[in-house]
A and B are shown apart, each in its own frame.
Chain A
Amino acid sequence: MMIERKKLAETVGESNLYDDEATLEAYSRDMSFANPTRPRFVVKPHTATEVKELVKLARETNTPLVPVSSGAPHFRGDTVPSTGGAVVVDLSEMKKIVFVDRARRVAMVEPGVTFGELIPVAREEGIRLNMPLLPRSTKSVVGSMLEREPVVMPSYQWDVSDPLACLEVVFGTGDDFRTGQAAGPGTVEEQWAVGGRQKAPYGPHVAAWHRLVQGAQGTMGIVTWASLRCELLPQVQEAFLVGSARLGPLLEMARWLIRLRLVNECFVLSGLDLAAVSAQARPGHLQRLRSALPAWTLFYVVAGYEYFPEERVAVNIKDISALGQRLGLEPVPALGGISARELMKTVQQPSGEPYWKLRYKGGCEDVLFLAPFDRLEVLTELVARLALEDGLTVGEYGVYIQPTVQGTSCHCEFNFFYDPDDAQDVLRVKRLVAAAVRSLLDAGAFFSRPYGEAAGIVMNRDAASLDILRRLKKIFDPAAVMNPGKLCF
């Protein structure tokens, strides 16, 4: 049984229902190596009520639903249907910025809202988002948070679920549910009436329900809005770069910068990634930048807020200078033709076009995981060996290391760039990615957000957790209609 076209049209309106070849084809694949599978329909609901109705219909008819929030290009395969006959629920038309509240440092948005759309509205109020590194311009804010993407200001990431606050979800049962403070009492509107803003993430009760929806790749339900904690806009900011041929000292410095809460944005990029991030769209610029950059660069921003901002910045810079001396590192305002200030402006916005990961070769496949600070050198060396075995030198792939959760671990991302039109190149990256995942797993890399084929290997390593997740799935999506085939479901 399938959802009837008529029912879908009744639910979202004919104009928001797509089954034309071009659209179905577009949603059948992404930039990843996921097998293309064409959906039966694509729908673009505008309201939570419509979403709820869609899930009910899907459940009644056992029709797979694939939720999508961000616009193309997608990179992880999570929005490509794993089974035939699916309906893609594209939430990109749900574009309401419900509120931005400066006093409570929180905003609420629908899933179609992109970073590019929310940033200026938040800025207007005096606050900003703790963003992932250069999200593509079509990236949904809610989507990013649901994926637990790392954020560039680790000092403000108290918990791995940050900046997600509360959310409203329609579970696979068709029931809607609100998490954290938003759960109640009353509707969100009634809460607003007494001054409530949906920010506290925990509860109700001993459960932290938002954590169940996060990282689920749409397999538990469809989120119809989410709130997120925001940070103050600094009054003064100074950005720095620290270059090094060795990763270890930079990580040590990053660790202390975060531990002492001296900086906001803080991450490490390999030469190629820094070049890709900074490159302008003119021929040869990326290559020129790369050739002038050290193997590794630490980037950070020191900021001052309302009270004596210059003094705060000066004090922190002085303390950082002492730290740098201890580690034999020298922070500079520009490095290899890259200005720290320009880089700061760049990373406080979504990526320009083309998306930074596509600038080098047109394609990119990521291997991403979490690891402790003191494991990263070993893991990067391991990948370097594997790459070299396949003829790829260190400088030919990118590495992005993002300290997370106030310095308790790091997100590490290998960006294997490839030319989509070069079959050999594609094959090599495919091979390399598969080999890297296996080797990294064995060496202690934690793939907390596994996508695609790697998901199976990763999820199967922990049978006890897998068992519970599957039991939970039966509760929240008993008919298994929510994005089936993803993760372990």
Chain B
Amino acid sequence: MALDKEIYAAFAGVVGEENICDDPALMPAYFFTDFAAVVLPKSTAEVQAVVRLCNQFRLQFRPICTGWTGFFRPGTVLLDLRRMDQIVEINEKNMYAVVEPYVTSAQLQAELFKRGLCTNLKGAGAQCSAMLRGHGHLDQSMGADDRNHLAVEWVTPDGELVRLGSLGSVGEWFSGDGPGPSLRSLISSVVPPSCTPGVFTKVAMKLYHWPGPTRYSLTGYSPRYLLAEKPPNMMARYYSFPTLDQMWQAEIKIGEAEIALELMGFNVAMVAANITTSNEEDEAMFKRLSQEVQGPGFFVIIAGNSPDDFAYKKKVLETIIAENEGMSLKSVEDPEIEGILLTQCTRISASVRETFRPGGNFKSIPIMGQRDLTIRWAVGAGQAKLPLIEQGLIADDGGGFFGWGVEHGHLGKTEIFCKFSPLNPEARKAVDAWAEQQSNRALEEKYFALTMGPPEQIDSKVGPALSNYHLWWYKVLATLDPNEVIPDKGVSKLHP
């Protein structure tokens, strides 16, 4: 559905002919959605102008940064922010970086390592935007969700430019809240992403100290890069435990002791996926690791600011592991594999290996919040996967789930997914049913509720169960979006 000529000309007048496309033949390239048009603004001013045109012509729009998965309504105008790709500032003294939407985590991390700083890579991978909310390998010591955002430059759904916090008051990025109530309340919370209102054109991300090398020295060729030399004062291990409770006890003790740079509650299927370069290797490695582990486990990286600091952290780690009868996985002690994991987890987050490589698709239930609570729910959700595995509908991961402590165990993340082939409708049906049953169970049993469902589900079930937040949200959205240019009332599904 191409735009009508007058509207097309108006958009082209803003971004230039070469940065707009409304040819229906090309639209399948973007999420297989029949977008009204794709426009590529270059600057905040262009974003504002495009958004204003969307308001003028009552066209719904959605922005993407690096644009991984998404579900979009046909007829939407897509703002592909690819041309907004600058690192505006890396402020070493005040530990933040200001990025535009198309700066990738890989780029930012490379620049930060050079300066002894670090950003928390999101699980989606380092090819994704550095400004994402989200979760990743370094949550344990580097926070997650919206809690790493400082000031934000925001184009509202009606095209106004709002500069949050210190940015609006004094033109600097160090704080995103105030004066008075924080407008971060409206635009920034947990993943999974629904339709955030408007467009974030620049975001200041909080940074952390990086005790590792300024650059990893690698040998080998893709897809198997090896660490030439293990950096000093760093160590990666995978520990398995006789019981889930012992694993949890060890996890929380490690959090409380504040010793881990990373604590990632991978199941061994995910470890296998990360360290292998093909599905066949992955399958063999999964079998091998499954034999090696004694039960559930997690992956840990410790890193010291000094040799003494490292020695202390190592001693505490080993004590906690011993207290909980944990066992280090010999395969990960192999320096080659240890090196692969060190670099992948802090530098790239190779999540496509874990998620898409086996079958081409996966469906996930990610939950943020209280870790012990969500673990209990996830045990049941994992068991519910077993029949699907037996029927060959999803990849065998032993019914596993994964998760980790965030902010040294103050908060947590738990996630469980099914990997399947998009070409198998039966598998998709079974996976959808599993996801629905398990999220319903979470809601009914009062564990948590997913807020990324379709609008009708939010209105009828989820909203009323969660303090009627949806009614407040709709009021907020109505005032920000008088022309209803945000699709689906700002709630939508992550996957079609």
Contacts and interface: CB of A to CB of B under 8 A. Distances in A.
Q: Touch between A and B in complex, CB under 8 Å? A: yes
Interface of A: 103-105, 148, 158-161, 175-179, 181, 183-186, 190-191, 193-197, 199-200, 202-217, 219-220, 229, 232, 255, 259-262, 305-308, 311-312, 315-316, 318-319, 322, 370-374, 405-409, 441, 444-450, 455, 458-459, 461-462, 464-465, 467-469, 471-472, 474-476, 487-488
A217 B306 CA distance: 45
B285 to A, nearest CB: 33
**Which 10 A-B pairs rank lowest in CB-CB distance, beginning with the nearest?**
A448-B178, A200-B369, A462-B168, A211-B185, A211-B182, A212-B185, A184-B466, A446-B166, A185-B465, A186-B446
A186 B466 CA distance: 7
B472 A475 contact: yes
Contact of A464 (B168, B181, B306, B445): B168
Interface string B181-197: 11111111110011110
Which has the most chain A C-beta neighbours within 10 Å: B162, B177, B368, B479? Answer: B177
Interface in B426-463: 442-449, 451
Contacts of B370: 104, 181, 196-197, 199-200
A193 B447 CA distance: 10
A318 B306 contact: yes
Interface of B: 91, 93-96, 143, 145-147, 150, 156, 160-166, 168-172, 174-190, 193-196, 206, 208-209, 252-253, 256-258, 305-306, 308-309, 311-312, 315-316, 319-320, 368-370, 372-373, 376, 407, 409-411, 442-449, 451, 465-470, 472-473, 475-476, 479-480, 490-491
Nearest to A195: B373
A371 B171 CA distance: 12
A374 B449 CA distance: 44
A141 B288 CA distance: 53
B93 A465 contact: no
A458 B169 contact: yes
A264 B93 CA distance: 19
Contacts of B368: 200, 202-203
B446 A193 contact: yes
B193 to A, nearest CB: 7
A158 B445 CA distance: 31
B179 A203 contact: no
B180 A459 contact: yes
Contact of A217 (B180, B407, B468): B180
A151 to B, nearest CB: 14
Given A104-B372, A183-B466, A305-B258, 4 more contacts: A311-B312, A315-B308, A407-B95, A465-B168
B263 to A, nearest CB: 15
Contacts of B316: 307-308
Nearest to A229: B410
Given A200-B368, A315-B308, A450 B180 contact: yes
A448 B179 contact: yes
26 contacts: A103-B252, A148-B178, A160-B182, A184-B449, A185-B447, A196-B373, A203-B190, A203-B451, A205-B194, A205-B470, A206-B187, A206-B190, A207-B469, A208-B146, A212-B186, A307-B257, A308-B312, A318-B306, A371-B174, A448-B179, A462-B179, A464-B162, A465-B164, A471-B480, A487-B180, A488-B180
A219 B182 CA distance: 13
B469 A209 contact: yes
Given A259-B209, A372-B94, A196 B446 contact: yes
Contacts of B189: 202-203, 205-208
A455 B179 contact: yes
A307 B257 CA distance: 7
A455 B178 CA distance: 11
B466 to A, nearest CB: 4
Contacts of B411: 199-200
Contacts, number: 303
Contacts of B179: 215, 446-450, 455, 458-459, 462, 465, 487
A446 B175 contact: yes
A488 B93 CA distance: 33
A20 B407 CA distance: 50
A482 B370 CA distance: 33
A204 B479 contact: no
Which has the most chain B C-beta neighbours within 10 Å: A179, A194, A211? Answer: A211
Nearest to A212: B185
Contacts of A311: 312, 315
Contacts of A203: 189-190, 368, 451, 469
A207 B258 contact: no
Contacts of B319: 307-308
Contacts of A306: 253, 256-257
Contact of B206 (A194, A220, A370, A405): A405
B170 A445 contact: yes
A374 B94 contact: yes
B94 A148 contact: no
A368 to B, nearest CB: 12
B143 A205 contact: no
A104 B96 CA distance: 29
A216 B181 contact: yes
A233 to B, nearest CB: 11
A185 B178 contact: no
Contacts of A179: 467
Nearest to B479: A471
Contacts of A186: 446, 465
A408 B96 contact: yes
B181 A220 contact: yes
A316 to B, nearest CB: 8
A209 B468 CA distance: 12
A14 to B, nearest CB: 33
Nearest to A220: B181
A472 B467 contact: no
Nearest to A312: B312
Contacts of A461: 168-170
Contact of A260 (B171, B305, B444): B305
A408 B95 contact: yes
A469 B178 CA distance: 10
Nearest to B204: A408
Contact of A446 (B146, B162, B165): B165
Contacts of B443: 185
Nearest to B141: A261
Contacts of B163: 462, 464-465
Which has the most chain A C-beta neighbours within 10 Å: B145, B196, B306, B466? Answer: B466
Nearest to B478: A475
Given A205-B194, A408-B150, A199 B178 contact: no
A372 B411 CA distance: 28
Contacts of B409: 105
B281 to A, nearest CB: 38
A194 B308 contact: no
Contacts of B407: 158
Nearest to B317: A307
B185 A207 contact: yes
B177 A211 contact: yes
Nearest to B465: A185
Nearest to A442: B170
Contacts of B143: 158-159
Contact of B209 (A195, A260, A446): A260
Contact of A462 (B169, B175, B177, B182): B169
B177 A307 contact: no
A202 B93 contact: no
Contacts of A196: 370, 373, 446-447
A183 B190 contact: no
Contacts of B308: 315, 318-319
A215 B178 CA distance: 7
B447 A194 contact: yes
B87 to A, nearest CB: 17
B140 to A, nearest CB: 12
Contacts of A202: 145-147, 189-190, 368
Contacts of B449: 184-185, 204
Given A184-B449, A446-B170, A465-B183, A406 B95 contact: yes
